[in-house]
Amino acid sequence: GAGVSQTPSNKVTEKGKYVELRCDPISGHTALYWYRQSLGQGPEFLIYFQGTGAADDSGLPNDRFFAVRPEGSVSTLKIQRTERGDSAVYLCASSLNSGTQYFGPGTRLTVL
């Protein structure tokens, strides 16, 4: 596609549930990044993939958060046992190697 796409656009879930957020990067981009943006804040880094492997997952807040990129293209961010504090906009970005990052429109997650 022409840009980074993310689905769903909005996700409402209940505390304790499991959610998956999907990111489709720009075709050919080898690097993929996940960020979390809480209300009134700038995005915060979660994890970075180079190809299929997680090259840096230092931003994942705890073991409830996990991300995969099995074929080096689409990525899924998985959150187990969601908590109200997980409510935020989750942004995905991709780049060619370590070049300029292009962002998707984000998924707004609301945990009730």
Partner 1 sequence: AQTVTQSQPEMSVQEAETVTLSCTYDTSESDYYLFWYKQPPSRQMILVIRQEAYKQQNATENRFSVNFQKAAKSFSLKISDSQLGDAAMYFCAYRSPSKIIFGKGTRLHILP
**Letter for the amino acid at 89?**
V
Query: Least distance from C-beta 66 to partner 1, angstroms?
Result: 18
**Letter for the amino acid at 106?**
G
- Say how far apart CA 58 and CA 83 lie, in whole Å: 20
Tokens of 71: 């074929």
Per-residue interface string for the shown chain with partner 1, residues 31-50, x marking contact by CB under 8 A: --x-x----xxxxxx--x--
- Say how far apart CA 99 and CA 95 lie, in whole Å: 6
Instruction: Provide the pairing of β-strand 65-68 with 5-7.
Output: unpaired
Q: Which of 12, 15, 17, 55 binds partner 1 (CB under 8 A)?
A: 55
Calculate Rg over the CA atoms of the chain. 13
- 98 touching partner 1, by CB under 8 A: yes
Query: Least distance from C-beta 99 to partner 1, angstroms?
Result: 10
Q: Which stretch binds partner 1 (CB under 8 A): 13-21, 68-76, 78-86, 103-111?
A: 103-111
Residues in the site for partner 1, rule: CB under 8 A? 33, 35, 40-45, 48, 55-56, 59, 89, 91, 93, 98, 100-106, 108
